[in-house]
Amino acid sequence: MSGTRSPSRKAPATEAGADDGARWPVWKLSLLLYPFAAAAVAINLFMLALAGTYFGLPALSPWWALALSVPLGIPAGWAAGRWVRRLMDEADGK
């Protein structure tokens, strides 16, 4: 017997079209991933400013890095949402 076992004896393990309405749009994924993207932007800005002190640039405080990451996190969150949507589509075979 091939295939996967179903947790229920009545329903088959895989149903064609079972998840057709459950496709997450990019904007929902972007909203979900925004806090993580904004935090990554803040960390990268802070570390980039620390590296810039070697070249004589002023250091960036952690608070300024957080403040700048709020607007800069929007395109980063959108990019993360598109990336995750593409991975989900690839996993679904679409």
Q: What pLDDT is attached to residue 62?
A: 94
Contacts 24+ apart (CB under 8 A), 44-49: 45/69, 45/72
**How sure is the predictor about 16, in pLDDT bands with cuts at 50, 70 and 90?**
low
Between 13 and 56, the more confident residue is: 56
pTM of the model: 0.73
